[in-house]
Amino acid sequence: MSISTVRVDLAGRGYDIAIGPGLIDRAGELSTKLLARRRVIIVSDDIVAERYGARVFNSFKQAGIDASILFVAAGERSKEFDTFGQLMNALLDQRPDRKTTLVALGGGVVGDLVGFAASVLLRGVDFIQLPTTLLAQVDSSVGGKTGINTRHGKNLVGSFYQPRLVLADTDVLDTLPRRELLAGYAEVVKYGLIDDPAFFDWCEQNAADLLNGDAAKRTYAIEQSCRAKARVVAADERETTDMRALLNLGHTFGHALEAETGFGPDLLHGEAVGAGMALAFALSAKLGLCPPADARRVRDHLGAVGLPVRLRSIGGGNRRQWTAAKLIEHMRGDKKAQAGNLTFILARGIGKSFVTREVDEGMLRDLLDEAIAA
């Protein structure tokens, strides 16, 4: 099967995203010409490393590239300062120079952590992303945002730093837990909902095949997603305009749900985004902006693939005491909230999203009350 390539156009720092099966074993061969020196340090998490670490390591060795591999623990905790500090020291123990390239092998946690490490190690070394979750393949590995978490919130320390190459191997998704796969799929659907109604139609028709392992459909979905994100990033690398903000469709609501569930295993980020997009469309319909049938279609599709769309079904079910007031408070705590006015991505229909800071708080409260009662 063929490999698709998406080019991210950034003056002087453009790079390719290659998508398709079998890429893990070709990492060495495909990176060779980009390396300033034939020396890489692979960083992975323990779960991913156990499955794919040796294969990636061997592919570099076979291409005649000097490689070593380091591990962090799997999970969001590895994006904390102490892990970051330990990683920097472990990297320096390997005696890298400015021409050494880091390779991030893993999901968004490894990508964000290693990307940030690359941006500050010896004041900046190259890095390559080998994203192994669907979320990382369609979202976090594209766009150059890197970062770690602090007690003030997630991703508050970081940098904009672009990789030299991204290799998204569709085969590695076979070992990803179904729940993680679905969470990543929510971000795929997002691209259709933002501005590509034909892609949303495609998702409705092909989600089952894609989720069940069809490599060609996975490649297509990842390619469309990366193209959509790359387009936005090329136009607005540092998120200075409303354009990049569209990528946050579902995220104002989603962030509030994540905050309320403690950013933990009760609700994965992609799951929160899925539920958040259903709420954003419900609010759009309630405000008379979007046909109610479109809002229903969004919710039905997300629910049909198995994503949680009812607040009742999220994080402990009925036991969780959602209140509109608490959710709104979390929205206000969102770093993307500007000067008191909440930012929402709403829609005039599927594929017709837009940014607004003028949402009537009474309507928002009513919508949340209805969603909590539903």
Residue number with CB closer to ligand NAD (143 or 250): 143
| CA distances to 123, 228, 258 from 14, in Å | 20, 16, 33
What does the block give as tokens for 349? 């229909």
Q: Is residue 45 involved in binding ligand NAD (CB under 6 A)?
A: yes
Q: How far apart are the C-alpha atoms of 239 and 234, rounded to whole Å? A: 10
Query: Are the C-beta atoms of residues 185 and 270 closer than 8 Å to each other?
Result: yes
Build a one-symbol-per-residue string for 267-296: x at contacts with Zn ion by CB under 5 A, - elsewhere: ------x-----------------------
For the bound state, the minimum distance from the C-beta of residue 172 to ligand NAD, rounded and expressed in Å, comes to 4
Residue number with CB closer to ligand NAD (109 or 226): 109
Residue number with CB closer to ligand NAD (129 or 284): 129
DSSP string, 289-356: SS-HHHHHHHHHHHHHHT---SGGGSSSGGGS---HHHHHHHHHHSTT-BTTBPPEEEESSTT-EEEE
Binders of ligand NAD in range 265-284 (CB under 6 A): 269
Build a one-symbol-per-residue string for 114-153: x at contacts with ligand NAD by CB under 6 A, - elsewhere: ------------------xx-xx--xx--x-x--------
- Determine how many CB atoms are found less than 10 A away from the CB of residue 80: 15
What does the block give as tokens for 357? 């800071």
What does the block give as tokens for 5? 């390539």
Binders of ligand NAD in range 169-188 (CB under 6 A): 172, 175-176, 180
For the bound state, the minimum distance from the C-beta of residue 144 to ligand NAD, rounded and expressed in Å, comes to 8
Strand bridging mode 353-356 / 344-347:
antiparallel
Nearest to 24 by CA among 162, 137, 145, 177: 137
For the bound state, the minimum distance from the C-beta of residue 28 to Zn ion, rounded and expressed in Å, comes to 31
For the bound state, the minimum distance from the C-beta of residue 193 to Zn ion, rounded and expressed in Å, comes to 13
Q: How far apart are the C-alpha atoms of 229 and 144, rounded to whole Å? A: 11
Q: Is residue 324 involved in binding ligand NAD (CB under 6 A)?
A: no
How many chain residues touch ligand NAD (CB under 6 A)?
Answer: 29
Where do we find the tokens 């009742």? Answer: 312
| CA distances to 44, 76, 115 from 50, in Å | 9, 18, 21
Residue number with CB closer to Zn ion (126 or 334): 334
* Active site members: 123, 145, 187, 229, 239, 244, 248, 251, 255, 269
Strand bridging mode 15-20 / 165-169:
parallel
Q: Is residue 21 involved in binding ligand NAD (CB under 6 A)?
A: no
For the bound state, the minimum distance from the C-beta of residue 167 to Zn ion, rounded and expressed in Å, comes to 21
What does the block give as tokens for 324? 């509109």
Residues that bind ligand NAD (CB under 6 A): 45, 47-48, 51, 74-76, 79, 106-110, 112, 132-133, 135-136, 139-140, 143, 145, 154-155, 172, 175-176, 180, 269
Residues that bind Zn ion (CB under 5 A): 273
